[in-house]
Amino acid sequence: MTPEQFDSEFNVPRGTIDSLTGYEALLLDWQTRMNLVGPATLSDVWGRHFADSAQLSRLIPQGRSWLDIGAGGGFPGLVLSAMGWGQFTLVDSIAKKCRFLEAVRDELKLDARIICARVESLPTLGVEVATARAAAPLATLFEWAIRHVRPGGTFVFPKGRRWAEEVEDARKLFNFDLETHPSITDAEARILVATHVGRR
């Protein structure tokens, strides 16, 4: 996917494309010193990472407060922040990844908070939406996120081809309502949108 195709797909302001172009440059630079994303994905940053993150904006209204768990390279949190989609707190336990997230935030002048810690060690954050991309199985994500999400909040997790198996496993430990949405970047993947999450 090209920046022009991304713009056509998501109809973002011109400034967003400029910001994401800067993000891509930082990602490619820092990737030479640490493993932020799979090397095979670097030839299609706009599709595999930016569009894959941006599609969550179609499922959650603008202006919500978000927690991005295991934020790593900043997906989806920093992409959605660059789109002006809400207030974002990104958590990662690896210091060098946090430095990358801070570098992107500062370069793009994003209103995002970066916390370098294990999410399970944090005091309650009280966000409206929790998300994570490739951080852990669904049941583990619920376990980490449930106390940080306000009552009535939403859990939005992109999942790969084993998504149904993860849902089945999570239902052994948690009650939840679930919507599944196709991914625009992977025909076998789904975006899971859960509400009313509670322990069994």
Q: What is the 3-state secondary structure (H, E, C) of 106-168?
A: HHHCCCEEEEECCHHHCCCCCEEEEEECCCCCHHHHHHHHCCCEEEEEEEEEEECCCHHHHHH
Give the pLDDT score at 190: 97
Hey, which CATH number is domain 3-199, 3.40.50.150, 4.10.640.10, 3.40.50.300, 2.40.430.10? 3.40.50.150
- Please provide the average confidence, as pLDDT, over all residues in the chain: 95
pLDDT of residue 134: 81
The predicted structure's pLDDT at residue 13: 84
Q: How far apart are CA 63 and CA 76, in angstroms?
A: 15
Once rounded to an integer, what is the mean pLDDT over residues 81-100? 96
User: In this predicted model, what pLDDT tens digit does every residue of 96-137 receive, in sequence order?
Assistant: 999 999 999 999 999 899 999 999 999 999 999 999 998 899
Tell which residue, 146, 126, 144, has the closest CA to residue 135: 144
- Cα separations in angstroms, 38 against 34, 49, 130: 11, 10, 23
Q: Where are the domains of the chain?
A: 3-199
pLDDT tens across 27-36, in order? Answer: 999 999 998 9
pLDDT score at 99? 97
Reported as a single tens digit per residue, the pLDDT across 140-167 is 999 999 999 999 999 999 999 999 999 9
Using alpha carbons, list the distances in angstroms from residue 93 to 74, 101, 122, 156.
Answer: 13, 12, 11, 21
Give kind and range of the element (H or E) at residue 77. helix 77-82
Confidence of residue 177 (pLDDT cuts 50, 70, 90): very high
Residue 145, strand partner residues: none
User: Residue 72 has which token pair?
Assistant: 């790593």
Confidence of residue 14 (pLDDT cuts 50, 70, 90): confident
Instruction: Quote the pLDDT of residue 132.
Output: 97
**According to the model, what pLDDT value does residue 133 have?**
93
Is the pLDDT score of 76 beyond 90?
yes
What six digits make up the tokens of 52? 């894959």
pLDDT tens-digit map of 35-68: 899 888 888 999 999 999 999 999 999 999 999 9
